[in-house]
């Protein structure tokens, strides 16, 4: 297992993994969005999990001016975290999170934010196992106009 920063040649495979995390989004759109956000200012920081020569997971880390439950600003925020089902429970997810924590500390940040859907028990358990504490439950609304 190797955890490392994303490289440009990884982008197509990263887009496929993003599509697995966010189904319904076309891979081509996720790839274009990915290229844009890693070039943004501030950029999205992306770590990938590599087994052999295959990418099997990723973690996207952005900076948010406000994050629920956090007192500092800006806050490194886990925008996406995914490991393919066949590779779960082998330490890849925690390795990705450690890379995000190390990057955050190295850049002077003191907190790390993240979220998941209330019904995503696997993600909630994974966050808890890595030392995250739940700080609030959020209900999101939409009104078509």
Q: In whole angstroms, what is the distance from residue 136 CA to residue 125 CA? A: 15
> pLDDT-based confidence at 30, cuts 50/70/90?
confident
> pLDDT-based confidence at 10, cuts 50/70/90?
very high
pTM score, whole prediction? 0.89
* Residue 142 pLDDT exceeds 80: no
> pLDDT-based confidence at 126, cuts 50/70/90?
very high
**Coil/strand/helix, residue 140:** coil
Tell whether the torsion through CA atoms of 11, 82, 28 and 32 is positive or negative.
negative
117 vs 4, which has greater pLDDT?
4
- Is there a contact between 109 and 101 (Cβ–Cβ < 8 Å)? no
The pLDDT value recorded for residue 26 is 87
Integer-rounded Cα Rg, in Å, for the chain is 15
Superfamily of domain 2-129 in CATH is: Gcn5-related N-acetyltransferase (GNAT) (3.40.630.30)
């Amino acid at each position: 297992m190797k955890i490392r920063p994303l490289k440009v040649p990884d982008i197509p495979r990263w887009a496929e993994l993003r599509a697995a995390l966010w189904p319904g989004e076309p891979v081509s759109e996720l790839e274009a969005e990915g290229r844009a956000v890693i070039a943004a200012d501030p950029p999205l920081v992306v770590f990938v999990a590599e087994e052999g020569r295959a990418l099997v997971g990723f973690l996207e880390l952005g900076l948010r001016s406000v994050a629920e439950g956090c007192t500092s600003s800006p806050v490194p925020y886990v925008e996406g975290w995914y490991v393919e089902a066949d590779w779960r429970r082998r330490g890849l997810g925690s390795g990705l999170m450690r890379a995000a924590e190390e990057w955050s500390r190295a850049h002077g940040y003191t907190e790390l934010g993240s979220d998941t859907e209330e019904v995503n028990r696997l993600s909630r358990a994974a966050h808890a196992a890595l030392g995250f504490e739940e700080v609030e439950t959020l209900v999101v609304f939409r009104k078509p106009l």
